[in-house]
Structure formats: C-alpha cells, structure tokens
Structure 1
Amino acid sequence: MRDIVDDLLRVWHSGRTGGLATVVRTIGTNSLPIGSSMLVTPNGGVFGSIASGRLEETVYEAALEAGRTGARQLRRYSMLTGVESSADDGTLVDIFVEPFSCRDFPEFPTIAADIQAHRRVTVFTVVWNQDPDVIGQHLVTDRKHATELVALPESDLFVASYCPPPRLIIFGANAYAATLVAQARMIGYRVSICDSRPEFADPASFPGAEVVVDWPHRYLNTLAAAGEIDNSTAIVVLANEPRFEIPLLTVALRLPELGYLAALGTPADQARRLEDLRAGGFDEPTLARVHVPAGLEAGPRTPAETAVFITADFLASRAGLRLSAQRDYGSRAAVGMAI
C-alpha cells in the first residue's frame, strides 16, 4: 500500500468508490510479497501491482467488481493458472478484495499521514468472519507487528505493518547526488542530503529529498544522538574533500550501528583517505571493511551510471552479499564499506 498512498488518497477524496486487492498469504511460493496491493479506480485505472500475466488480469476484474458491488471477499488463486482454485497445486495465493472509498475506509487519511511522515503504523483488517458485516473492518495502531495473516478461531485478520522506510544519507550536493536520490527513492528509501554550502544545497535541485545545510560530521552526530541511525541506514559520501569527509568518516566508523558506508573517489583518493583515517587511530581490521563496490569490469562514467552502481552495491550489502569485479582505476569509483 505504501507505494500507492497518493493514488488511494485521490480516490478517497473524490467521494467515489474504487476496488482494492491485497496479497495476504502465499502457499508454496514467495514470489509475491505479502501486502502487495492493486488499486482499481472508479474509472478502471490501475495503480500498484500484485503479479503479472493471467493472475493480474483476474485480480483486476475482482477488484473492479468489489468497487462496483461493495463485495468484500478473501479469494484463493492458483499462481499457475491465474484463476480461482481450491485445489492445492503447490503455488496458491490468498488475495483480499474490498471496495475502497471514504465510506468504506474512513480511517485511511490518518494511515496515509503516518506513512508519509515516516511514522510506524499498523492496520488490522478482518478478511474472513462468519458474520459478513464484520469483514472489511479496520483497526489502526502504532504498535510494531509483523505483516502477516493471523488465523483466530472466529476470524482471519490481515496485519499490515508500515515501518519507517530505510534511510539513505548523502553527503555532498552535486549531480551524483541528484541521480542517486532518484535511484534510492525508486527502491523505497527516504533520502537526506547534507552539504555545508548553501549555494549548492538547493532543495529545488533534489526533488524528493530532505536537504540540510550543515557541516557533515555535525549533522551525522545530531542524527546519531537522536537515535536516527540504525543497521538499515546507508551513507554515501560524495564530498571528495578531506576537510569534509575525514571528520565525517571518523564519526561514521564509530557508530555502533550502520548498514552501509560508501565514498566516491579514485584509488589515489582512497589511499589518501585510508592514510588519514589511520592517523586518526583506526586499526587495520576496521579499515579492512572498506571494499570497492563491484559487479562491473569497468567503473561507471556518468552520474546516472554511478548512481545505479552504488545502489546495487548497498542493496547487495543489505542482503549480505558482496559484489566483486575488476575496476577501471582511471575512472571515478565508489569505495564502499559494508558494516
């Protein structure tokens, strides 16, 4: 639902009724993320996706019907045939379809506001009950919970938990930062950019990102003190200037939790960087965490290519993988560290 919040709000405020389909359980497959949603607007438009091919077409019709008739149903489909099935063919998916409007889901603007403000919110939806009038009721809480289908003696509840998105903090406001913002937002990251130069840190140049004018190490210390850095946080340093990056990297390397750290620069920049950090008291085991983001035989050339390269590296790092390949040392490269 997170990726179609704005579309849901438009339907909600229109006063008309659309249809909403949500994946609540998979059996024998993990190819469909639990909680994936598809909105079918009153005009038949589609936002979001839950699958592809025949199944998506079938669910589209079910959501369209829910919007037109008000029916709320938990439906089981075969991933192989794309049609409703009660037989266990090894790949089944349960999808809840319901009408969506300001009358059917009066609590939704509160949920949307929490998601957009990066606050935790959990939505409980009754997807099955012996009393049909109970099906489709929603309960909203700020309690942490796993996203899952919960089977109770008299009801099935789908619990959709929306945690604050993972965060990418970019230090250095430039063309590389602009393209990296776009890449990171596509994969669901909340992005902040920090630069001490107000003439470069123009919010209009970085749509979708929070832009902060401050010294990098001071801003990172502020975030850490506020408890806003955790093991899902990614940091990319694009300010390839010792007076900015060495104090910043010194703070970053001492954080108790951090998901990923990368700094843009050539091998010569990296050699100088490591020498400065050694002089600051960092030992070899700590510095040995530094690795060159890889996956290509030659380094990226443009800011857009560099953004793809860095994004792939911190996603691999988040999954516990490490990319490796030869580097064209004549190009600008991203030097990363998985923590």
Structure 2
Amino acid sequence: MLDIAEELHRWVGQGREFAVATVVAVDGSAPRQPGAALAVDRDGNAIGSVSGGCVEGAVYELCQRALDDGITVREEFGYSDEDAFAVGLTCGGIIGILVTPVRADHPARPVFAAALAAAAAGQAAAVVRITDGPAELLGRPQLVHPDGSFEGGLGGHPELDRTAAAEARAMLDAGRTGLVTIGAEGSRCGRALALLVESSVPPPRMIVFGAIDFAAALVKAGKFLGYHVTVCDARPVFATAARFPDADEIVVDWPHRYLAATAIDARTVLCVLTHDAKFDVPLLERALRLPVSYVGAMGSRRTHLERNDRLRAVGVTELELARLHSPIGLDLGARTPEETALSIAAEIVADRRGGSGVPLTGAHTPIHHEAGRPVTGRISSGA
C-alpha cells in the first residue's frame, strides 16, 4: 500500500473513499512482492498493480465489492493448469491478496490517513496489518514510528499490539517490507497470526564521485531507480547544477573528506568515477570500511590492478578489497555514457536483489529472487 502512498494521500485529502488490494503472500514465481498494491475509488479510478496485469481485472472487481459492502476479504490467485487463460498467474505463482475498504465510516481511516501522509512525506514509518487470522481482525492497521510508539491497533489484545509494534520497529530499522508470524503456540499472544509489515523510509542514497559525463548519465539512472543522488567533486568548475540538473545535491569537496562527514547507511550506494589515484585511493580506503550496500569504481582492468596495489599499500585488506566492484558495472559491451550508466545500474540491482547478471534466456535461475538486501517499500522492483 505504501508503494502508492503519494496518490492515496491525495485521495484522502480529497475525501475520496477507496478500497486497497495488497499483496500479502507469494508462493512460487510472481511479478510483485508483498506490499505491492492496487487501489480503486468510488468513481472507478485505479492506481497501482498487484500482478503486472495477470489478475488486475478480478482484483479490481473485489475492490469495488469491498467498497459496496465494507467488508475486508482475503483471496488467493494462482495458475490454472486446465486453462492458462483463466484468471490466474500465468507465470506459475500464487499470490494472496488482502482487500480493505477505506470508506468514510471506516474506524481506522485516520490511521490509514496518518500512515499515507508519513510515507508521502518521505518519513520513516511502518504499517502493520493482520493478513491471516480471525475475519474480524483482518486488515486493521497499526502505524508504528521509529521510536516504537504506535497509533491504532490490530483489534485484539494489547499484548498483540505491543508485540506487533516491536516486530514492525525491527523491520523499519532495516527498511524492510515483509511477512511476520507472531503468537505461535506458547506465546502470550495466543494463536498464530500472519502480519504484513510495510516499511516506508527515506529514499536510499547514491553518491557519485567524479563530475564527468558518465556521472551525468548515472545520475539519471539513479533517480530512475529511486535513489537520492549526490554528486561530489573537488573541482568547482565541473561540479555545477548546470551540468547535473537531475542531481538532488551537488557537493564541492574532496571525496574522502565528504564521505567522512556525510550520513550513510546499509542501503547507500557509492560509485567512484573519479578515475584519478589522488582521489580514488583515500576515498576507497574509507569507503571499503563502511557498512554500505555497494562500492564500485570505474577504470580499465589495468587501472583496477594498479589501484588495488595502491590500496594494499595503505593497509586495505584482501577482505575489504573483495567488496569492491571494479571495473564497475556488468559486461554489456557499453561504450556511451548512457550505456555505461545502464551497466552500473544493472550491477547495483543484481547485487541488491541477489541476481546473477546472466541472460534469462536459457538460464535456470529464478526470475524473481526472494533473497536480497533490504529495500524501501517505495522502490521495490521486479526482475
């Protein structure tokens, strides 16, 4: 639901009633992961997607029905061997869909509104909903803040709300959206309940070092992937807004000094395009010791080998060097800045999602990887 928060926030502000269908379970191959949503308002306007087109029509009808009767329902859609053109996922997977009407008389509408407002503003927040349990508890939202405080409740016992909030806070800290089971046998919460935790966190950072023509193309690719993109270069004549109109931030500073002072986290991506030892070595010496998601450096294979020798000379270990993606990018045969940016972006996605980078044609690897590094609920993507 939070992946379409900006538009839903506008709908709430306009007083619209709507139903939101959210993917709450995936079994096998499926184009969208838990948290993906489709919403339909009273006038029949629809936004978002739960399946990339496979079951949108049926889910659209479920949303309209939920708006009429005010009942939250859970349905499953899967592939039919008897009729590949029946309503189902022709990719072979099964998805569980939770459909919740957010009508004017819905007692939890203020909680939905607060969650959507926070996500639309880029603030850190998590929404928890029961997706498998007693019918009267399905879909009730709990909004959890980074400090562990929460608004609303799941409609059960206070212990259930506290347990759910603790689970959601842990997932919010990691920037993860996913499923949690609580209240298994022996727990103070009673029967087992399945929860969907949707996390909304500020966009992850991409810091591009080196204000060159390749950097301008990479900035556009980074923005397309949902990153907050910073360009850093020590040369003020090159690091200008005119040369990088798509960047969120342009910094004139020595790269290693800026990296030492700026905020990073486990989702941060560092792309070193400076291609100059006096910048590269002190920058990478620091970057390879930081808990970031990805560190890549541009250069030929010869440059890569020489740079590694320089890094070893300043004390960088082999384990730290193993984190470096260099030469940066996947082998696409790229030549132009735009093609090179595409190869770098592809490597970042493959590294984040656990992809192999090999062609899907003839491969036996999963198209939709379940493994991968934590991402924002707002920028999850498919293959």
- TM-score of Structure 1 vs Structure 2, range by shorter chain: 0.7 to 0.9
Q: Is the 8 A contact 2:31 2:52 kept in 1?
A: no
The match for 1:315 is 349
Counterpart amino acid of residue 233 in structure 1: T
In structure 2, relative to structure 1, the CA distance for the partners of 1:76 and 1:42 (3 Å cut) is: same
In structure 2, relative to structure 1, the CA distance for the partners of 1:82 and 1:210 (3 Å cut) is: farther
Q: Determine the C-alpha separation between the residues in 2 that align with 1:285 and 1:138.
A: 44
Q: Does 1:159 align with 2:196?
A: yes
From 197, 203, 206, give the equivalent of 1:168. 206
Unmatched tracts of structure 2, length 5 or more: 81-85, 146-168, 172-176, 184-189, 360-383
If asked which structure has higher relative contact order (CA below 8 Å, sep 6+), I would say: 2
In structure 2, relative to structure 1, the CA distance for the partners of 1:103 and 1:213 (3 Å cut) is: farther
Structure 1 residue 23 displacement after superposition: 0.9
In structure 2, relative to structure 1, the CA distance for the partners of 1:109 and 1:213 (3 Å cut) is: farther
Q: Determine the C-alpha separation between the residues in 2 that align with 1:116 and 1:244.
A: 37
TM-score scaled by structure 1? 0.75
Q: Does 1:202 align with 2:202?
A: no
Structure 1 residue 98 displacement after superposition: 1.9
Q: Is the 8 A contact 1:195 1:201 kept in 2?
A: no
Structure 1 residue 96 displacement after superposition: 1.1
Counterpart amino acid of residue 100 in structure 2: E
Q: Does 1:277 align with 2:277?
A: no
Percent identity, aligned pairs only, is 31
The match for 1:332 is none
Q: Is the 8 A contact 2:288 2:321 kept in 1?
A: no
From 97, 110, 117, give the equivalent of 1:95. 97
Q: Determine the C-alpha separation between the residues in 2 that align with 1:184 and 1:60.
A: 32
Unmatched tracts of structure 1, length 5 or more: 85-89, 326-339
Give CA-to-partner distance per residue, 1:170-223, whole Å, 9 cap, x none: 223344333323323444444333234455242993436344443311221123
Q: Does 1:250 align with 2:285?
A: yes
Structure 2 counterparts to residues 131-146 of structure 1, below 5 A: 132=136, 135-142=138-145, 143-145=169-171
Bigger proportion of residues as strand: 1
Structure 1 residue 78 displacement after superposition: 3.0
The match for 2:164 is none
In structure 2, relative to structure 1, the CA distance for the partners of 1:283 and 1:147 (3 Å cut) is: closer
The match for 1:336 is none
Counterpart amino acid of residue 115 in structure 1: A
Q: Determine the C-alpha separation between the residues in 2 that align with 1:179 and 1:222.
A: 26
> SS of the counterpart of 1:312?
helix
From 61, 82, 93, give the equivalent of 2:87. 82
Q: Is the 8 A contact 1:11 1:101 kept in 2?
A: no
The match for 1:111 is 115
Structure 2 counterparts to residues 296-315 of structure 1, below 5 A: 296=331, 298=333, 300-315=334-349
In structure 2, relative to structure 1, the CA distance for the partners of 1:297 and 1:119 (3 Å cut) is: closer
From 137, 142, 147, give the equivalent of 2:178. 147
Q: Does 1:229 align with 2:265?
A: yes
Measured on the aligned residues, the alpha-carbon RMSD in Å equals 3.7
TM-score scaled by structure 2? 0.67
